[in-house]
Amino acid sequence: MSLEQDRSETDEADPFDAFRQFFALERDVLVLSIAMFAFSLGFQMTSRYMGEYMYALGGTAFVVGLFGTFGNIISAVYPYPGGAISDRIGSRYALTAFGLCSTLGFAIWLAAPLVMDVAVGPTSLGILAVFVGLIFSQAWKSFGLGASFAIVKQAVTPSRLAAGFASTETFRRTAFLVGPLLATALFFPFGSTDGEVRLAFQFILVVAVVFGVLGTIVQHLLYEADEDGFGEKFEGVSQLITDLREMPAELRPLLIGDTLVRFANGMVYVFFVIVVTRFREVGLTLSLPAAGTLELSPQSYFGILLGIEMLVALLVMVPAAKAAERVGLKPVVTLGFAVYAVFPVVLISAPPDAAVLAVLFAFSGLRFAGLPAHKALIVGPAETGAGGRVTGAYYLLRNLIVIPSAALGGLLWDGFDNPLTGDAVLTGDPVLAFTTATVIGLLGTAYFLVFGEEFDAYRPNRA
């Protein structure tokens, strides 16, 4: 039994607990946290700049859009087979294989400029290499989703699942904060020509490869596979259908509510930056005694807002996981869903004021408070040896439904015409897109609040 498991449930929540108690974590959760930080850092410091990299390789906006759609498909398809592989061969070897694949993907992106002048139909081999690289680079993030859930489930007691997920998510979200900042520092010495962008991004990819190698080595050498649970032999699509049919009853209302909330968020998520930089055009001007007046463009200020959002997320995840041990998982998950749902309409209605937006993005960070509890509620009811498949089936179904959400949001934002007559079928309106998203999100939140079930190990009146 770890020190983390032995701590009294009356201990005061500490948002920095995952760092201060780093070596007191269950060993496997600790190793997973380190690997999660390494791969999340590599993926986040690259994925935020992939559009710019593809432009520098000669791509177009349409190609960048296809790349985003391709990424959504991978996110939907990978988790289930990844979870099945994890349950079959064990989490240690599954995550090692997925780590090697991700590192290979970063390396393929690194080599893309070498073949950018080789024409392949209307595009180039360099652009195709970016798509191929995504197939590999997203392996640990998406293929490894079920394995990472299974490790936490088998490493901590049922009543501490949210705390276990809070520790891994804290390291993951820290990488979300550090990765783009590190990429910014590596971009700083270079200019903005295509050649300089390609060169700067190759330095970023070298760092990503290094972190990928280190993460793979750490998780393979330090992870103890003795407690790995192994499920039955994977039987292909028939097993997927069976897993969906036999999904624990507790997950069905969660899946419905979560899918509605995520669909709503997917409708407008890509437009958050547009609201700040173009729709509201909010920058920041500061008067500093030593440096004089500092002016941040809307694009720069959006990065500050993302930093505020992630800082709040890091501060609230652990206390929320502790609170779940007292009040149950359902109220904490509902809180996260509610923030997801309300934020779009609040953002689009906000005045063009820097301070107001800072408060709103701090509020948006609260949506991460329910994330560890949400994960615990997904994997908690699963049988030992089936946690990976249950997680994979859940995310497969949810992510498949969410795929077209951004396209719908774009239609509501821009509007569309009748292709035969040219008459406007719908006049686009950003407020309409964001308000519709909030309505759908609130429906999902209300559905889960009414029909969602509590995981037995977290019932407030448990013995």
Domain spans of the chain, in order of start: 16-234, 248-463
Q: Identify the CATH number of the domain defined by range 248-463.
A: 1.20.1250.20
* Distance from C-alpha of 16 to C-alpha of 414, rounded to nearest angstrom: 43
Report pLDDT for 48: 64
Would you state the structure tokens that stand for residue 345, as one six-digit string?
Answer: 């309409």
φ, ψ dihedrals at 369, nearest 5°: -60, -35
Q: Rounded CA gap, 382 and 226, in Å?
A: 20
Q: Which pLDDT belongs to residue 8? A: 41
Domain 16-234 and domain 248-463, same fold? Reply is yes
Let me know: does 389 contact 231? Beta carbons within 8 Å. Answer: yes
Angle between helices 61-77 and 387-402 (to 10 degrees): 150
Instruction: Output the CA torsion 445→368→135→302 (10° steps).
Output: 110
Contact 33, 171 (CB under 8 A): yes
Do 340 and 268 touch, CB atoms closer than 8 A?
A: no
Q: How far is CA 64 from the centre of its chain?
A: 19
Grouped pLDDT means (10 residues each) for the chain, 463 residues: 41 46 50 73 75 75 66 76 68 77 92 90 89 86 55 58 60 73 69 73 89 82 54 54 70 90 86 77 78 71 79 84 81 92 95 93 89 77 57 79 81 73 74 93 95 65 46
Neighbours of 285 (CB within 10 A): 10
Residue 274 burial class via C-beta count within 10 angstroms: exposed 0-12, middle 13-18, buried 19 and up: middle
Sign of the CA dihedral running 320, 326, 330, 334: negative
> What is the reported pLDDT for 11?
44
Structure tokens at 389: 């498949």
* Cα-based distances in Å from 398 to 166, 173, 402, 410: 22, 22, 6, 20
pLDDT at 148: 56
Measured CA to CA, the distance from residue 67 to residue 85 in angstroms comes to 26
Homologous superfamily of 16-234 = MFS general substrate transporter like domains (1.20.1250.20)
Q: What is the pLDDT of residue 441?
A: 97
- Paired strand residues for 287: 293
Q: Comparing C-alpha atoms, which of 423, 84, 78 is closest to residue 231?
A: 84
SS3 248: coil
- Rounded Cα distance between 168 and 22, Å, is 11
**Alpha-carbon gap, residue 183 to 46, rounded angstroms:** 8
DSSP assignment of 17-54 equals: HHHHTGGGS-HHHHHHHHHHHHHHHHHHHHHTTHHHHH
Could you tell me the two tokens for 312? Answer: 């709040």
Half-sphere exposure of 254 (CA within 13 A, CB side): 28
Largest CA distance in the chain: 70
Sign of CA dihedral 388, 394, 398, 401: positive
